[in-house]
Amino acid sequence: MCSATRAARIAVPLVLLLWQHPPAPAAPLQVRTLSLEYPGSEGEMPAHLYLPEGGARHPGILVLHTSAGPGPNVEAFAGGLAAEGFVTMTPDLFALHDFGPEGRADHPLVLKDLDGALAFLKAHPAVDSSRIGVVGFSYGGRLAVIAAAAHPDLRAAVVYYAVSSYQMLARARPVAGRALGTRPITELAGSVRAPVLIHHGEADRTVPASQAELLHRALVAARKSSSLYLYPRADHLFNFQSTGAGPSAYQEEAARLSWERSLDFLRRHLGY
């Protein structure tokens, strides 16, 4: 079955937004980058804040890293959003704790540090606290859904190639540690109020595209706003130009399309 047919079939219960090119965008804004610390669960947590020029308050977006922790791809994405008029924040959720690769999934300390980052972003004087969104990549994409379920005031959530159910993932590849004891985020669908945009590569060998379909179907069944885009031949981290571990899975067309769709989605739902 072709990619377009699969995407249409998945989205039948809810209208899948078709991409339309917006009017020519204004020139990117100048961005100021700040290194800061915010109150976490057990101490001060490091983060970067990207502030667009202008005195008016801007929508705020929390940008969440992968299980590898912060890196240049996530920072570049946050900086790009800031150039479009959003205040963005990239917390390092692993700064104070060495959980190990199998111990990080939905860890209570991580979730508290995530809450602290959201609280800090909402309270920043450059941010309009009524217009807050979250974007997450892989590990961070799962956290984006958890945040949306726990914080009903969030107005948009963008999820890149995340694990929806470690129990289902274990049928495709080994899963160990605390991950197998976590709650599938599909069970949180009823608590999510924010519209959700999901991106996933059809050729993802780390987290199969079926994980994105699980989340999309759960949101649709709960009568939530969900849009799913599947990208042919795209692997995990398809929009990361360098991962620092092995060859890059970067796919230019999928990266471009997902960026444009994310930007349009965030503009519409955060009112910028």
Mean pLDDT of the chain: 89
Q: Is 60 exceeded by the pLDDT of residue 164?
A: yes
272 vs 17, more confident:
272
Alpha-carbon gap, residue 3 to 137, rounded angstroms = 22
| Backbone phi, psi, residue 31, to 5° | -125, 135
Is the full-model pTM beyond 0.85?
yes
Q: Is 80 exceeded by the pLDDT of residue 234?
A: yes
With a CB cutoff of 8 Å and minimum separation 6, the contacts of 87 are 49, 50, 51, 52, 58, 59, 60, 61, 121, 124, 126, 127
Full domain range(s) for residue 255: 3-18+27-270
Distance from the Cα of residue 190 to its chain's centroid: 19
Q: What's the domain count of the chain?
A: 1
Q: Is 60 exceeded by the pLDDT of residue 262?
A: yes
List the structure tokens of 115.
């809450």
Closest CA to 197 of 145, 249, 154: 145
Alpha-carbon gap, residue 224 to 194, rounded angstroms = 8
Alpha-carbon gap, residue 214 to 194, rounded angstroms = 18
Calculate mean pLDDT across residues 83-92. 97
Model confidence band, residue 1 (pLDDT cutoffs 50, 70, 90): very low
What pLDDT shows up at residue 103? 73
Is 121 in contact with 143 (CB distance < 8 Å)? no
Calculate mean pLDDT across residues 154-170. 98
Calculate mean pLDDT across residues 35-48. 94
Alpha-carbon gap, residue 155 to 51, rounded angstroms = 20
Calculate mean pLDDT across residues 226-249. 88
Model confidence band, residue 246 (pLDDT cutoffs 50, 70, 90): low
Q: Is 60 exceeded by the pLDDT of residue 15?
A: no
What pLDDT shows up at residue 101? 62
User: Three-class SS of residue 252?
Assistant: helix
Is 197 in contact with 259 (CB distance < 8 Å)? no
Q: Is 60 exceeded by the pLDDT of residue 2?
A: no
- For residue 89, the one-letter residue type is M
Q: Is 60 exceeded by the pLDDT of residue 161?
A: yes
Q: Is 90 exceeded by the pLDDT of residue 160?
A: yes
What pLDDT shows up at residue 27? 77
Model confidence band, residue 99 (pLDDT cutoffs 50, 70, 90): confident
Model confidence band, residue 13 (pLDDT cutoffs 50, 70, 90): very low
Q: Is 60 exceeded by the pLDDT of residue 7?
A: no
Is 104 in contact with 94 (CB distance < 8 Å)? yes
DSSP per-residue string spanning 91-157: E-TTTT----TTT-TT-HHHHHHHHHHHHHHHHSTTEEEEEEEEEEETHHHHHHHHHHHH-TT--EE
Is 184 in contact with 178 (CB distance < 8 Å)? no
Q: Is 70 exceeded by the pLDDT of residue 264?
A: yes
Give kind and range of the element (H or E) at residue 48: strand 44-52
Q: Using only the alpha carbons of the chain, give its radius of gyration.
A: 17
Using a 10 angstrom Cβ sphere, with 0-12 exposed, 13-18 middle and 19 or more buried, the burial of residue 24 is exposed
CA distances from 62 to 33, 112, 232, 251, 252 (A): 14, 14, 28, 24, 24
The Cβ of residue 223 has, within 10 Å, a number of other Cβ atoms equal to 11
Sort residue 156 into left (φ over 0), alpha (ψ -120 to 50) or beta.
beta
Q: Is 90 exceeded by the pLDDT of residue 21?
A: no
Q: Is 60 exceeded by the pLDDT of residue 97?
A: yes
Choose the weakest-confidence range: 91-105, 108-122, 123-137, 168-182: 91-105
CATH number at 188 reads 3.40.50.1820
